[in-house]
Amino acid sequence: MVQSAQMASSTSFLQAYSIISVDNPILLDRLVKKTHLQPFIQNAGHFFVFCGGFRQHADFAQVKGVDIQNTLEGIDAVIVGSVDASLAAQNMTLAAESLGMGVCYIGGVRDGIEAGWLLFGGSLSNAY
């Protein structure tokens, strides 16, 4: 299913998103509590978090010594990340439903986005 998500159309083939697979029940419990999600999510067979962003691009550019700061700023970056993540999520949904699985989008992750980011090992000082 992740491969189906990765085959989605993407702005300039940037694939400006990450997919976090949460299959550890302890981590899922922490995510539910820290981001104030509904407890029924803990009964999901699997939980994926789609995040728009340019983290991997920023890391690669830093390794290569290339300045992409202008790419990371502004509304265009927000739109590109949001659209790319949404298209990937929709492709995964279609793949899952074609296999007879159910899917439920949970927008509430946004309500505790900083807590979730930190839970997954992110740093607020270098988030893109």
- β-pair partners for 18: 51
Contact 102, 42 (CB under 8 A): no
pLDDT in tens, the chain (128 residues): 999 999 999 988 889 999 999 988 998 999 898 888 888 988 888 899 999 989 889 999 999 999 999 888 889 999 999 999 999 999 999 999 999 999 999 888 888 888 888 888 776 555 54
Q: What is the tens place of the pLDDT at every residue in 52-69? A: 989 889 999 999 999 999
DSSP annotation string for 48-104? EEEEE--HHHHHHHHHHT---HHHHSSHHHHHHHHHHHHHHHHHHHHHHHHTT----
1-101 has which fold?
A: NADH Oxidase (3.40.109)
To which H or E segment does residue 18 belong? Answer: strand 17-22
Q: What residue spans define the domains of the chain? A: 1-101
Indicate the burial class of 69 (C-beta count within 10 angstroms; 0-12, 13-18, 19 or more): exposed
Of 51, 74, 25, 57, which is closest to residue 122 (Cα–Cα)? 51
Q: Which residue type sits at 48? A: F
Distance CA 116, CA 120 (A): 6
